[in-house]
Structure 1
């Protein structure tokens, strides 16, 4: 009883739940009569746009990564070198998009123009 009251006061267990709190679901273990507790983290849906009404850039980022796996080694190296010349680490920017957003608009356009040039090469090759 003392341990249970300690857990409730330390908020390890909560009497209420909200959208961001993990729910505990019980699932029977296959072939075993006792039960197993699994944490379930519900996904909170976010709005498509940001607060200023502009579109989210995460789709562009995922699109870029989708193209990345089809690029040749030479094209990947070209983009990495171009990004380094501009002043950022391309591979790190895939994981932390804020690296790219900290660049000036001119730097961003310089990178995007090079990326689009390479993408276009693959689109025309795929069409033929």
Structure 2
């Protein structure tokens, strides 16, 4: 990887971590306007494209009064893609998540995720994190 692409990946990593903290950690809906692009492509089949679906999801969390948080365990960036592996608590559930974001011109414009509820018991002694 060249220095320019390393620099871009590092900038994208910082942007995604800041955006995630402000929106999902601080529940600051204005983060959507600062960090998400107007043409936001969503690959989670449960949600439509566009950032308004995220706004509704976070507003629902705020309205429910159920605490939410995410602990970032790992973050990797390459070029315009940033991966976050996190332990999340959302709507009363403990979740293991992998979020993949694509950044373009300083905005998050595309998203993929894999979400799995953390079971009470495991068949092995390894953790999901």
TM class by shorter chain equals under 0.3
Query: TM-score, length-normalised on structure 2?
Result: 0.25
Query: TM-score, length-normalised on structure 1?
Result: 0.25
Larger % of strand: which? Answer: 2
User: Which has the higher Rg, Structure 1 or Structure 2?
Assistant: 1
Name which structure has the greater RCO, CA cutoff 8 Å, separation 6+: 2
